[in-house]
Structure 1
Amino acid sequence: MIKLSVAALITLALLISSGCALTQTQGESSIPAPATLYESVVIDSNSRQPVSLEYVADALSKADVVIVGEYHGHPGSHLLQTRLLKHLHNQNPHITLTLEQFNLDHQSDLDDYLAGETGEAEMIEDTNAWDNYRGSYRPIVEYARNHNLPVIAANAPAQTVRCVGRIGPAYLNALPDNQRQQLPAHPFLDTPAYREKFIEAISGSHGSNDPAISERMASVYKAQLLRDNTMASRILQARKKHPGHQVLHLTGTFHSEESLGTVALLKKRAPELSVVVLSPVFWVAEEAPPSLESQLGKGNFLYLIQPLPKEYRDPDRQNKAMKQRFSGRSDTHCTTE
């Protein structure tokens, strides 16, 4: 079993699932600041200028796949995503929504809800939806449901991810054939830049050539790759199932910014696709805006949002809360026999 320190677990949960916070430096003073946590300011990375969502939707009209990175639970991210779907749908009725927030083994449960066969509370229970579903993802799922747009559960099964993180890739060999066949044929494809970014986020320093770090983090990184490869594979499956549809994919920004993670693996599998990335950038209202030059590589478009309030200022309370959060997963049984 791979054992991580509490500090590493905290970093994994807060950075990898939601994306890394940014260091603010002096930037272009003409960029308007988002006035509330619900608002965002979209920047075109080419022109370095603020643009409207109508402009963004028009610019994305020919893209095969649009990927919006998010900070999970941030109202600015989720409001932008829903509004963008509306604008994209206004100009193209053929849109498929793919979501990291649902696991592929619950696709039938999600379909039952979209077809009106179950209620929302039943869907949340049946799909084991994220705790913040109602506050964060309900609006975009309801828009898709009301307009009969396909919604694809894009993430790998939660237990499979956890067990790969605990005992390594060999866990997949123990899966029943029907479960293994749902996963991508090559579930651990990666890129050197993504591996380096992952290790730096977890360890706080470059360490891809350090054997000790590589061994300690190998299984955790494989679990991360399983998520990214599964999402890339599910996007391609969605395009095959719904020919001619534009795909709008929602994911944590770590999985997509700098065109790494899911984006890089999607391009490896289908280099002919046109993929556009929108990435969030935290804006600290009382400070200068972030330097655009240092952030432009994160996406074709950036959207500035206010940071969320700090959850904990007491490190001991943070450690205790994180231990409790992870202890709830201790009943997962993983075996390769």
Structure 2
Amino acid sequence: MTKPAIAQQLAANLATAYDYQLLDANYQPVTEPKLVASLAQSDVVLIGEYHGNHASHLLQMRLLAALHIYSQQQNRPLVLSMEMFTREQQTIVDDYLAGKVGEHYLINKAPAWKNYSASYRPLVEYAKQHGLPIIAANAPADVVRCIGAQGETYVDKLPLNQRRLLAEAPFMAVPNYADKFYALMVGSGHTVSERAKQSYAAQLARDNTMAEAILTARRAYPNALVVHINGSFHSAERLGTAGALLQRAPALKVRVVTPLYPDAVAEQQAKAPQQDEMYYLLKPLPPEYVDEAYKQSVFTEMFKTAKEKAKACL
């Protein structure tokens, strides 16, 4: 059977927006118990998502619960780490887990992401119910935005209390990551602008900060299995946060679970295999825009808003 035919056959199993098909490192179907047993032997598992895709969020919840049960059998602690909360929000997250504040306070005062209730509430509530720590792993959004506007030198302007919210080495290079980032931003073969370099610096600040947060959690909870939730770009091909983690601790057993749309399977198979990366197929989201004029109006407003926010940078 040809690769496109295999992809079509696998895609036939995706009947609803909640359905997914698990694949092993060789893109062959794998059962959930077998995948969990494999992931449970790791030190860190990064589960990538396509933000807002219901299948991603359902899989994350099921894997977290299954890995927690498996870890209990191994007498190992489990820690949940999340891109969706930033370091300065850790106290609010901890207070919520301890029952000191309610969900409305968490959502509004953190603040949580707009899709928190539908996408991340199940993870947080499971952690709260079972006494699992949650690591608010990401770099502060305002600082990342300003790095994107001014570049790496922005960090030098930060007061100590804000500088501590970033990784000690926020711009540590991740091999092959820049090429992937710039290919997405400006296309292959195009000149990389200064603005694109600043955006990459902002991306590195996120990835290095999340990697450092995961390592800090591993020190705080010895022998723990850390399950980290992030957007797929932060961990696919063991780059991004996964790469930054391995740069700091090469001996760690790091596994990655990466989403794919069916029409991307053949392209992915053409790349060098990653034996520590597993995959799951899911249905694509509806197209965000059909009307080009409306799309441009939305983007214009977004850029205007971002420009206004950038004025607040030091």
Q: Secondary structure at the residue paired with 1:279? A: strand
Residue in 2 that maps onto 1:256: 235
Query: Contact 2:149 / 2:195 at 8 angstroms: preserved in 1?
Result: no
The 1:190–1:26 alpha-carbon spacing in structure 2 relative to 1, beyond 3 Å, is farther
Tell me the amino acid that sits aligned with residue 146 of structure 1. Answer: Q
Residue in 2 that maps onto 1:52: 31
Q: Deviations over 1:30-49 (max 9, x none)?
A: 53521111010000114x32
Deviation at 1:293, TM superposition (A): 2.2
Deviation at 1:254, TM superposition (A): 0.7
Query: Contact 2:238 / 2:277 at 8 angstroms: preserved in 1?
Result: no
Q: Deviations over 1:284-322 (max 9, x none)?
A: 6xxxx8336236747621100000000111122112112
Alignment of 1:294 onto 2:270: yes
Pick from 191, 196, 211: which aligns with 1:217?
196
Query: Contact 2:44 / 2:228 at 8 angstroms: preserved in 1?
Result: yes
| In 2, Cα distance between equivalents of 1:296 and 1:307 | 24
Query: Contact 2:138 / 2:209 at 8 angstroms: preserved in 1?
Result: yes
Pick from 90, 106, 110: which aligns with 2:69?
90
For structure 1, which runs of at least 5 residues remain unmatched after alignment?
1-23
Deviation at 1:190, TM superposition (A): 1.5
Tell me the amino acid that sits aligned with residue 101 of structure 2. Answer: T
Aligned length, in residue pairs? 304
Pick from 67, 87, 100: which aligns with 1:104?
87
Q: Secondary structure at the residue paired with 2:183? A: helix
Alignment of 1:38 onto 2:18: yes
Query: Contact 1:174 / 1:335 at 8 angstroms: preserved in 2?
Result: no
Query: Contact 1:196 / 1:206 at 8 angstroms: preserved in 2?
Result: no
Query: Contact 1:53 / 1:87 at 8 angstroms: preserved in 2?
Result: no
| In 1, Cα distance between equivalents of 2:25 and 2:141 | 35
Alignment of 1:195-234 (within 5 A): 195-207=178-190, 210=191, 213-234=192-213
Q: Secondary structure at the residue paired with 1:80? A: helix
Residue in 2 that maps onto 1:19: none
Pick from 164, 169, 172: which aligns with 1:189?
172
Residue in 1 that maps onto 2:156: 173
| In 1, Cα distance between equivalents of 2:220 and 2:50 | 29
| In 2, Cα distance between equivalents of 1:206 and 1:251 | 28
Alignment of 1:322-337 (within 5 A): 322-329=299-306, 330-336=308-314
Residue in 1 that maps onto 2:50: 71
Q: Deviations over 1:93-122 (max 9, x none)?
A: 311010001111111011111111111111
Q: Secondary structure at the residue paired with 1:27? A: helix
Q: Deviations over 1:61-104 (max 9, x none)?
A: 21000001110010000000000001101111311010001111
Tell me the amino acid that sits aligned with residue 62 of structure 1. Answer: Q
| In 2, Cα distance between equivalents of 1:327 and 1:150 | 38
For structure 2, which runs of at least 5 residues remain unmatched after alignment?
none
Alignment of 1:320 onto 2:297: yes
- Superposed CA RMSD in Å reads 1.9
Q: Secondary structure at the residue paired with 2:270? A: helix
Query: Contact 2:22 / 2:280 at 8 angstroms: preserved in 1?
Result: yes
User: Equivalent pairs: percent with the same residue?
Assistant: 42
The 1:30–1:216 alpha-carbon spacing in structure 2 relative to 1, beyond 3 Å, is closer
Residue in 2 that maps onto 1:310: 287
| In 2, Cα distance between equivalents of 1:328 and 1:127 | 21
Deviation at 1:184, TM superposition (A): 1.4
| In 2, Cα distance between equivalents of 1:26 and 1:305 | 16
| In 2, Cα distance between equivalents of 1:154 and 1:139 | 18
Query: Contact 2:140 / 2:165 at 8 angstroms: preserved in 1?
Result: no
